[in-house]
Structure 1
Amino acid sequence: MKKVFFLFLLLGSCLQSVQAQSRSEGLSILWGNPQQESKRSTLADVIGHDESGFYALRLKVGAFYGINSKFSLEHYDNSMNKTRTVEVDLETDNKKRSLEQIVHYNNRLFIFTSLADQKSKQKKLFLQPISKTSLQPVGEPQQISSIDYTGYSKGNSGNFGFSVSSDSTKFLVFYNLPYDQGENERFGFHVLDWEMKQLWEKQIELPYQEELFEVDRYKVDNAGNIHLLGRLFNEKRKLKRKGEPNYKYQVLSYRDNGSSLTDYAVEIPGKFLNDMQIAILPNQDIICAGFFSPARTNSISGSYFLTIDAKTKQVKKQSFKDFDADFLTENMREGKAAATKEKIEKGKSVELYEFDLDDLVLREDGGAMLVGEQYFIRVMTTYSPNGGISSTKTQYHYNNIIVVNINPQGEIEWAHQIPKRQRTVNDGGFYSSYTMAVVQDKLYFIFNDHPKNLIAKQGQVYNMRLTGNDAIVVMVEMDSQGNQTRRPLFKASDASVIIRPKVCEQLTNQEVVIFGQRRRLQRFAKISLQSDSQSSSLK
């Protein structure tokens, strides 16, 4: 009991210290007014910001299995308070379009909507600018793309995706075309300029059968070229054997307005690359970075960083680093850490499981940072005495964060884990995961946590709390050397809401907007961060 009492005294002291010293510590939090909203309403996306504040998209889920869900576009001022809200009108000629995306692009708002016409078998994509004053679309919807799905069902009518170049001068509309099983998969591109005017378009057929290739990511570079990252399987995806690698990564680059295709096989003998992010350099060289393992597809034993020459297709630079004993045991209890190190000394393999690579952050000096998170789902089914299913629960696990630092020479300098445990049931991980902010050469991670983790011994990681005095929000600051500082930001009970890290967003170089909700109460806050670092900045 004394330990518990001391813990809350310490937590209260920490929180008061943050509030009282926020300016001197380079941190301040500005809360907007709490709003009463429908329990079926939540934030869908923070779209963008300008000098007047920021724009957000709200979703109100339909009462019957999500049918008739509605979207609203909202504006919030720099005090984090709502100034206006408008329901997104998706009706055109008595036909309801689907909302594809609302974007803030070069200081303007645009809405993309689609309509699948069963008579003509055409799925059309429309674009409209949105007035920032009224939050209403301006003019008539302009058709910019169409998918012909003649001979196919509405469920196989194709899907649209969107991407923006790193300098915000090119906008990509990407869509997959209907296909039959066994055929080569087909896609289409529209590349738009900074004013949303089309530069070029093209439909392409991948040089692989659908069962053998899976597109993971697509990018448009600053020159308007398209790059697809995908996995090429040795056999059909459905036939892959669990735990054994049966694919390799492939990058397909479409240049010269889509007229030229260059494919890059990304593989290193003796290493299985099981997760990857890519970036395109100004000279068109391709950066590939991620995690590798000796064999198993669902585990990782180290990280890698490659630079591929765009012309020769050869690997110009490569760096591999096995996760060492210190990294693998830095969040273990003393006994388990000793046993793990002994296992490593005997030459046995020690790997990490279920980690997803979330981000590749480039630095201005040519270096980079890799960020990943442990994420997995477990389905728990209980049976009645007569053998029937009595209940099924789905557990969502969002645990430790991994950060890997690569220097300007392309060498992996260090890797560290940020201890975190978030386990929930039947909620899709609604309040789990983290939001990340980049301020010069520092990374900031914000997430829901347990107060005991502020003073926990090595190897002790407590599951986050979402209710009562144990529910807190923390921020972990990581500098360029991998040193991390964990501190509380606020209690959920003091804010009256629980934050949803997945929809929080870094607005500017030093500002992060966070969103929280609890029952019908919802509100935003702005966290202002300042770094005293004089080192190179991250992009």
Structure 2
Amino acid sequence: MKKIILLLFLIGSYVTFAQDISVKSTTSEVFKDDKKNTSLLFSESDGNGGFITVREYRSGLLQMPKGYYIDHYDAKLNQINEAEIEIDKSQIKGLMINNGTVFLLESALDTKADVFNFNILESSLSKLNFEKRTLFSLDEEEIKKFFGVGIGPFFMTNGFNQMDSNPFGEVTFSAKKNFFCVNFDIKDKEAQTQRLYVFDKDFKPVFEREFKRNIQDRLFQYENIDVDDETGEIYLLGKVFENNSTRTKKKGKANYNYELHKITASTEKSVSFSPDENFIGSLFTVRGKNKISCAGFYSEKNDFRYKGVCRFNLDPETLAITKQSYMPFSEEFIKDKYGKVKDKELKNLSFRSAFINEKEDIVLNAEEFYTVTHTRSSMNGGMSTTTTYHFNDIVSVKMSRDGELLWARNINKNQSTAGAVIEYLSFSSSVIGDDTYLFINCSDKIRKISNDRIEFKQGNMKKANLYAIKIDNNGNYTFKNVVDADDSDVSYFVKQGIHTAIDGSELVFIGRKKSKKQFLKLNIM
């Protein structure tokens, strides 16, 4: 009855409660882990309709990573096999499946041998009994050179501070996992320094390079790496501050520019481009067949406001900029957001995902995310603080290959928590052909707001419906309840949705309710 009332309520609105969204859901049996706190890190198709997942589990007062669950499910989500890997000074950094073999990429410290190893854990799909081999190592002298400290206990407590991020190395795969790069972003007061190792899918070395930019480390903000799927070449994007200052604004203008570096086994090219009269808080590379693009959100006021989207197209060989465009959000978007056209920029926008289709159109998805910390007196006379996490409106934008704004939509959403249900909030996304899909948890009491708009409400996240929102090629959106809370034993962690198919048509989620856990597979038809 409640769904009939909702459908009647929405008739005549510019969005519809849709039946043209075809998403098939499959669930596993409900199960319980020995370890309570787990998170889904990686998942990949096994090539036969099933998938492998890697979940990290944590324990102890500080909730430190202690190990991993490896699970293999068939197409109907029947569990075929499982394995558990305990860790000590190590991390699993990636998952690959190739010709019926599972590969886990592990970085590990061996304090007894005074080496840092990057290992491959290998097993057949049918067994899940992993054997370890070392892909490359850094000995103590190399560690001293790159990290400025010996291995041993001091390195464990202080040596990681020599690294800007990801002390165990960042792994980036190419689009179809034909290549991958292991990247160590190293602190060096005198120069921006990164150590790069590139391998093909058979783990044969392609090249090893030390990237150095003759600028103080604090003035270079590493953004991301993109790996070419045909050659293994690397595109490294960074934000470079000017005037010997990390302030983002000087004399009313942006105090930075962006640099894209193309790195191969024997050559290095770079290009620099500025925000002109605008401000670009962050950019990210998106690789197409014929070009590499840098896309992001821009502002006319400062780094923390958002007026629209920008795109820079570059020739992948020469890095020459072939097209650049700044596209303000459309009137339709502003009406979605505010109910009427207003000359106002957004704030608190956090990037979530970027996709490029066969036409080389780019879809960017972001979310209004911010935190609020409250401090108050406790009963024992001390002070206590509570941080509330807000996951609000979704911003989805599509740009053509030539840098035109095809559509921009604001999905009104209101979610917040002080931490207890944070896994259930935010959203996952995918792009299939010309259609964009967003997956969110919310109440079935979808609220009508001013000017014929709707807002997805939070409700009880431990008993939430999972909705699919589809935005078509013209920017029209529809939505559908694909998992009803009344029919489900758990609620799913939508922020942790992982693609198991290269074309984005299959996603895997894990859900929990108290001690119960369950996998969910969604196939977009």
TM class by smaller structure: 0.7 to 0.9
Contact 2:242 2:255 in 1 (8 A): yes
**Corresponding residue SS for 2:202:** coil
Percent identity of paired positions between Structure 1 and Structure 2: 23
> Which residue number corresponds to residue 66 of structure 1?
63
- Equivalent of 1:202, from 200, 203, 209? 209
CA distance in 2, matches of 1:298, 1:472: 33
Displacement of 1:11: 5.8
> Which residue number corresponds to residue 537 of structure 1?
none
CA distance in 2, matches of 1:248, 1:383: 45
Displacement of 1:448: 0.5
- Equivalent of 1:330, from 336, 348, 368? 336
> Which residue number corresponds to residue 458 of structure 2?
464
> Which residue number corresponds to residue 83 of structure 2?
86
Contact 2:81 2:126 in 1 (8 A): no
Contact 2:447 2:457 in 1 (8 A): no
Alignment of 1:211-222 (within 5 A): 211-222=218-229
Displacement of 1:73: 0.9
- Equivalent of 2:98, from 106, 121, 128? 106
- Equivalent of 1:316, from 307, 316, 322? 322
CA distance in 2, matches of 1:419, 1:460: 7
- Equivalent of 1:32, from 1, 5, 28? 28
What letter matches 1:431 in structure 2? Answer: Y
> Which residue number corresponds to residue 267 of structure 1?
274
Displacement of 1:446: 0.8
Distance change in 2, residues 1:161/1:298 (3 Å): same
Contact 1:468 1:493 in 2 (8 A): no
Contact 1:249 1:266 in 2 (8 A): yes
Distance change in 2, residues 1:282/1:482 (3 Å): closer
Q: Is 1:410 aligned to 2:408, yes or no?
A: no
Displacement of 1:240: 5.7
CA distance in 1, matches of 2:20, 2:304: 44
Displacement of 1:478: 0.8
- Equivalent of 1:168, from 165, 177, 181? 177
Give the aligned CA root-mean-square deviation in angstroms: 3.1
| TM-score, structure 2 as length reference | 0.85
Note the alpha carbon deviations across 1:293-326, whole angstroms, 9 max, x for none. 1131111001112212356654311222112443
What letter matches 2:120 in structure 1? Answer: L
> Which residue number corresponds to residue 498 of structure 1?
491
Q: Extract unaligned runs of 5+ from structure 1.
A: 1-5, 15-20, 91-95, 345-349, 531-539
**Corresponding residue SS for 1:208:** coil
Note the alpha carbon deviations across 1:129-171, whole angstroms, 9 max, x for none. 2221221213x42242326332424232443111111243212
| TM-score, structure 1 as length reference | 0.83
Note the alpha carbon deviations across 1:465-521, whole angstroms, 9 max, x for none. 23576x322110110111000222233242121110122223334333232111111
Distance change in 2, residues 1:327/1:467 (3 Å): closer
Q: Is 1:49 aligned to 2:22, yes or no?
A: no
Q: Is 1:231 aligned to 2:265, yes or no?
A: no
Displacement of 1:63: 3.1
**Stretch deviating more after TM superposition (73-82 or 121-130):** 121-130
CA distance in 1, matches of 2:400, 2:20: 30
**Corresponding residue SS for 2:337:** coil
Q: Extract unaligned runs of 5+ from structure 2.
A: 10-16, 161-166
Contact 1:49 1:55 in 2 (8 A): yes
Contact 2:19 2:480 in 1 (8 A): no
What letter matches 1:174 in structure 2? Answer: N
Distance change in 2, residues 1:106/1:10 (3 Å): farther
Displacement of 1:392: 1.0
What letter matches 1:520 in structure 2? Answer: S
CA distance in 1, matches of 2:95, 2:8: 42
Contact 2:74 2:80 in 1 (8 A): yes
CA distance in 2, matches of 1:24, 1:214: 44
What letter matches 1:63 in structure 2? Answer: G
Displacement of 1:277: 1.8
**Corresponding residue SS for 1:149:** helix
Contact 1:280 1:286 in 2 (8 A): yes
Displacement of 1:112: 2.4
> Which residue number corresponds to residue 424 of structure 1?
417
Distance change in 2, residues 1:186/1:159 (3 Å): farther
